[in-house]
Structure 1
């Protein structure tokens, strides 16, 4: 899974570079935002996984798996938006429209963004599935959950309904 994370980081940086050629306009600014969030996510996961931990506290918490699935969904929507902009030949959201403003973009950079976003979607989905299968096989660590035998005491809440200022 570490190799998938490294490949995903490199791919994300490539998407960011090609997206910044057009200031993110050809993806309606979704690619740069997805890149930044993905880089922060991967750096956080790598930093957490490098810390010394006990055998019962692995680094594949359910929250990381869920966040990976959410990022895969973001990358899928990024790919769909980039393809929709590619196919819409209208206004300033085209390669020709951006060239009029002096940006150095081509149809190939836009197509490359589509392909790299699809690759990133597959990488994030693969990381999520691997983490999910590992969590199902070995179980989630119990340290982040409340104990199953803990008794929850519900106490009534008193709500004050007067809003008069007190002096």
Structure 2
């Protein structure tokens, strides 16, 4: 009987860890400043709760890309993203396929874990925003877009101009 009690407790702990790994992410907008956090937004902020594993995608948010600061990636649905800023009109994006991530990884010597690409892109290497590791196993964000290619800087909050 004691053995079943121990196994039950271990199972409860493991299921609790699985729930924690899928924690909600909150998109907060206070006076035009957007941020993503794990706790509910403070009073006076517009509060949108994104649920599940995909909601915590590290790709969501704002980036500084070359001479085009304020690229923003937002989500409309699980398979539909929108990129705004960078001097271009809003561009619909979709999750990158395994083949697209592999292609970018080979071309730029990265291990790409996730990415979003332009919906109707038919280029040799898909234009998009990617997340993974470089040869030194450092966490990096990489952009391959018509106006910029290379490692980019991700910011936790967005400038009001990028909206």
Structure number with higher helix proportion:
1
Tell me which of the two structures has the higher relative contact order, counting C-alpha pairs closer than 8 angstroms and 6 or more residues apart. 1
Larger radius of gyration: 1
Q: Please indicate, yes or no, whether the TM-score normalized by the shorter chain is above 0.5.
A: no
Structure number with higher strand proportion:
2
Task: Give me the TM-score of the superposition, normalised by structure 2.
Answer: 0.20
Task: Give me the TM-score of the superposition, normalised by structure 1.
Answer: 0.19
